[in-house]
Homo-oligomer: A and B are copies of this chain.
Amino acid sequence: MERHFDEELAHVKHLLLRMGALTEAMLDAAMQALVRNDRSLLDPIFTQEAQVNRLQIDLDEMCLRLIALHQPTASDLRFLLAVSKINTELERLGDEAVNIAETVTQLLAEPPLKPFEIIPQMVEIANGMVKDSLHAFVSLDTERARRVLIRDDKVDHLRDQVIAELLSYMRKDSSAIGRGMDLIIVAKKLERIADHATNIAEDVIFVAEGKDVRHHAGEKLDPTAC
C-alpha cells in the first residue's frame, strides 16, 4: 500500500512539472511570435492550453482519490492540498499565456511600435520563476523557493519601466495608443505570471516548513541571498 502511494505521489509530481513545461512553452511561443513577427508560432498554444486544463482536472481527481483512499500523514496531506492549489495557479498561468497570444495577434496586425527589449526579458525571468517554483515544490527545496520570491521585484520593476516608456510614446503620438495599450496589457500579464510563480513558491515554504509566508513574505527574506 505504502509503495503504491509513493508511486502515485511521484506521478502527481510528474504531472505538475508537465503542466509547468506546457505553460513555459506557451509563453515562449507567444513571445517568439511577437519578436519574429510570425503569427504561425501562436498555433500550438491553443492545443497546449487544452492539455493544461485537462491536467488540472486530472490532478484534482488524483488528490481527492489519494486522500480518500490512503488517509495520508499530516505532511503528505499538506502536500496534496498544495497540489490542488498549485494546479489552479498553473491553469491560470495557461490562461494568461493564451490572453497574451491573443494580444500578440492584434499587435502583429500593425507595424511594431519599437524593438522589443524589456518584454522578452520579463518572459525569461517569469518562465524561470515558474520552473524553479515547481522544481522547488516537488523536491521541497525551500532555498530554491525563496530565490523565486526575490525575483518577483525584478519583474515588477521591469513592468514599471516598460509602462513608463510606452506612456511617453502614447503621449507623443496618438497613433501609438492602441499598440501601446496592448503592450502594457502584455507587461501586466507577465507580472501576473510571475505572481503565480510567487504563490507556488510560498506554498513550497508552507508545505516544507509549516510556515505561512503568504502575507508577509518580504519580511522574511534576505535580499542578499539572490
Which A positions have Cβ atoms within 8 angstroms of B? 50, 53-54, 56-57, 60, 63-64, 67-68, 71, 74, 77-78, 81, 84-85, 88, 91, 167, 170-171, 174, 177-178, 181, 184-185, 188, 212, 214-215
Contact = CB atoms under 8 A, between A and B. Distances in A.
A167 B174 contact: no
5 contacts: A53-B215, A63-B81, A67-B81, A177-B177, A181-B184
Given A57-B212, A68-B77, A170-B170, 11 more contacts: A57-B215, A64-B74, A64-B81, A67-B77, A71-B71, A81-B84, A85-B85, A167-B177, A171-B177, A177-B177, A185-B188
Contacts of A215: 50, 53-54, 57
Contact of A214 (B53, B67, B68, B181): B53
Contacts of A60: 81
Contact of A178 (B53, B167, B177): B167
A71 B73 CA distance: 12
A167 to B, nearest CB: 7
Contact of A81 (B50, B81, B174, B177): B81
A91 B85 CA distance: 13
A201 to B, nearest CB: 15
Nearest to A57: B212
Contacts of A84: 81, 84-85
B177 A214 contact: no
A73 to B, nearest CB: 9
Contacts of A85: 84-85, 88
6 smallest beta-carbon distances between A and B, as pairs: A53-B215, A171-B174, A57-B212, A170-B177, A171-B177, A81-B84
A17 B173 CA distance: 48
Contacts of A54: 215
Contacts of A71: 71
A109 to B, nearest CB: 16
A170 B175 CA distance: 10
A174 B177 CA distance: 9
A63 to B, nearest CB: 7
